[in-house]
Structure formats: C-alpha cells, structure tokens
Amino acid sequence: MNLSKEFHEQGFHVVNNVYNKDEISTISNFINNLDTTNPIFRKTNDLFAIRQFIKEFPEIKKLLFNERLKEIIKNIGGEDYFIVKSIYFDKPEKSNWFVSYHQDLTISVDKKIEDENFSNWTNKHNQFAVQPPKEILENIVTVRIHLDDTNEDNGALKVLKKSHLKSICRIDSIEFKKETEVFCNVDSGGIMLMKPLLFHASNKNTNEKNRRVIHIEFSNKELPKNLHWSEFSEIENFTKHNS
C-alpha cells in the first residue's frame, strides 16, 4: 500500500528517517537558543510549548522543510498545500501530563465573524480559534516532527485506527471494544502524519525521557467571508496562494 493511500484510509502513518542526526541537532539547537521569557511560551512542570511556532520564528522553516518532508506533503496532500498552524511541544522527562481521546476540531483564524457554519469560538493569548465546517477539517493534514525517540512510555500518541471516517462525533459514542488502538512509536528524525478527525490520545511519561514534537497543520482551503488562517505561511517551492 502506498503512503497516500494508507494515510487516507487509516487516518495516520509513521515515516522514519525524514531527518538525519545532524538536522535534528541543528533544529534542537535553534530551539534551545530561543528566549523563553517571550509570552508565547507556555511553561509548566508538565509541558513546555511554543504557540504559533513558525509564525514567530519563520527562520525555522529552512531547517524543517527539507526535500524529504516536502515530497511527503506533496504525496499525501498536493503542491498547493500551505501551513495553517504550528506549535512546539516538549513533554519533560518527569511529566505527569496526559491527554484523553479527542479529535482536533478547531482551526486558528485572524478574527471572529458571524457565520452559522463556524462555531465554538475562543480567544486565548490573542488567538482566535473556531470549529469550521467538517469539509475544512477533513482537508487538513497534520505532520508531527519528532526530535526524540518516542514510544508508549514517554507519550507517543495512541490512535483509534480509521476513526477519522466517523466524521465529527462524541467520544462517548465510540464502542472501544470494536476499535483498533495503535501506539504510534516514532524514532528521532521521524514524523507522524495524522488526520485531525482521527481520535488520538497520549499517556503520562513513565520512562523519564523527553518527547519533543513540532506539530504543523497544512491545508489548501481558502476561508470564507474575508476570514484568514492566522498562521498562514507558504512552503518554499510550492504553488503560491493568498492567505
């Protein structure tokens, strides 16, 4: 089964060896040298995160978008895909933070509008988020770049295979006995591809090893009524778009 077919049928896929050790070291050093007093950083005992990562630090793009990653995005999405959201996560080695099963149902936009097809608006840290029509969510491709070896002991995502095909639904409607749960173990330098409507979760860290991930979402959909993706950014050598 080819990459694109498996990704769209299963809702996820793991690809290792997207980055070599030198590339991962360069990316890690870039992050380690950032000024963490910036208010966009979220720091707790259980989680370190950088919101709007690529928007705030666009120079990271040349480190992340090597030819291997660009070919994968073209394969599963297309040459007209662009960045719509990015965040850096670090689940520290002693973290007790876990995330229960859920779907990713919101997008980041530049403002709030009145539209019956857009609901559940929030505004946190000067960032508007909203649940769009399911056609927009179904179009998004999520790429999770792993800077560390990640397995079920340090917070690798676990997913319900093919659950993205259920469209938008409540977790209490899921019959877990009938679902296939998979841990998405990823090597350092590998990536996990995921559909936002795939039910996913992560456990607490139990092996005292970090789990650093760069989460990037891509789409090729324009938004209606002068609404724009708040983190719109083009991929070098991809087709040009308006935000």
Confidence band for 19, pLDDT divided at 50, 70 and 90: very high
Residue 150 pLDDT > 90: yes
Would you list the domain boundaries of the chain?
A: 3-219
Tokens of 66: 């090597």
Residue owning tokens 């870039």: 30
Confidence band for 37, pLDDT divided at 50, 70 and 90: confident
Residue 240 pLDDT > 70: no
For residues 137 and 168, is the Cβ–Cβ distance under 8 A? yes
Instruction: Tell me the backbone φ, ψ of residue 91, rounded to 5 degrees.
Output: -90, 105
Tens of pLDDT, residue by residue over 90-124, are 876 666 668 899 999 999 999 999 999 999 999 98
Prediction pTM value = 0.93
* Predicted pLDDT at 111: 94
Distance CA 165, CA 179 (A): 12
Distance CA 110, CA 226 (A): 10
Question: What's the mean per-residue pLDDT of the chain?
Answer: 91
H or E element that contains 8: helix 3-10
30 vs 94: which has the higher pLDDT: 30
* Predicted pLDDT at 239: 62
The CATH fold of domain 3-219: Jelly Rolls (2.60.120)
* Predicted pLDDT at 79: 92
Q: What percent of the chain has pLDDT over 70?
A: 92
Comparing CA positions, the residue from 25, 17, 21, 148 lying closest to residue 91 is: 148
For 216, the 3-state DSSP assignment is strand
End-to-end CA distance of the chain: 34
Tens of pLDDT, residue by residue over 156-174, are 999 999 999 999 999 999 9
Tens of pLDDT, residue by residue over 183-216, are 999 999 999 999 999 999 998 877 778 889 999 9
* Predicted pLDDT at 1: 53
